[in-house]
Amino acid sequence: MRDTPRALMLFAAGFGTRMRPLTDATPKPLIKVAGQPMIDRVVAFARQAGITNIVANAHYRADQIQKHFAQSKVVISVETPQILETGGGMRAARPLLGRGPVFSANSDAVWVGDNPFDALREVWNPETMDALLLLIDPVNALGHTGGDFDLGPDGRIQRGAGAIYSGVQIIRTQSLMDIPERSFSLNRLWDTYIEAGRAYGTVHHGKWCDVGTPGAIAMAEEMLQAGGDV
């Protein structure tokens, strides 16, 4: 079905400034946690969930991202001359992703527990939803403070501090075409879908670590070891 997400957009274009000096010579998605590049962990979850169409964007040290996936079926959408942010990057990759709703994922987080893509697929309802975000209870989050959204009893989300956005979602992409700027954030779509009452969330069963700084690598590795995923 067209409303069943079949493709994944992997965000891998950023500069990784908070991860310096590790990112001075290496793009953040290729930084290793427990001996494995972070982006490969996300791809493994996607493969386990049966997602075969995977597109990763690239800008900062794009040649390394391209080389890393040269022998795989991950397709690279290179952003040049400027970085396009999450919204612009997804719009540029839309011909590769298809026109239906898609999964998207950041490539700088580590998980234990349920497969995030399977969890979203089980809850996704194309009749009522334009976006479904996977959220983290702050007690199960490492390397991240504060919150992003409040989750209502009916599953709808509003801006707030009750839960953390995990970086993984299902989202419809048609509205990307209505935004005139070339470079923009997916926050623009979320605000539209929240106002329309068609933005939902579901909570991840397991732990999650935002590996945004060098110090978070040790936290992520400890979490993986405790969860039996190392």
| Model confidence, pTM | 0.93
Q: Which of 113, 205, 128, 129 is nearest to 169 (CA)?
A: 129
3-state class (DSSP) for residue 210: strand
> Where do the H-state alpha helices sit in the chain?
38-48, 62-68, 85-97, 116-123, 187-195, 215-226
- Per-residue pLDDT tens over the stretch 28-81: 999 999 999 999 999 999 999 999 999 999 999 999 999 999 989 999 999 999
The residue type of 213 is T
- Per-residue pLDDT tens over the stretch 163-180: 999 999 999 999 999 999
H/E stretch holding 141 reads: strand 141-142
The residue type of 11 is F
Q: pLDDT band for 228, please (50, 70, 90 cuts).
A: low
Distances in Å between the alpha carbon of 32 and those of 9, 35, 196?
21, 5, 40
Q: pLDDT band for 229, please (50, 70, 90 cuts).
A: low
- Per-residue pLDDT tens over the stretch 90-123: 999 999 999 889 999 999 999 999 999 999 999 9
Q: Which of 45, 75, 79, 49 is nearest to 62 (CA)?
A: 79
Domains of the chain by start residue, with CATH: 7-226 (3.90.550.10)
Other Cβ atoms within 10 Å of 220 Cβ, number = 25
Q: What pLDDT does residue 1 have?
A: 43
CA dihedral 110, 50, 131, 169 (to 10 degrees): 10
Give CA–CA dist 140/52, Å, rounded.
29
Q: What pLDDT does residue 145 have?
A: 83
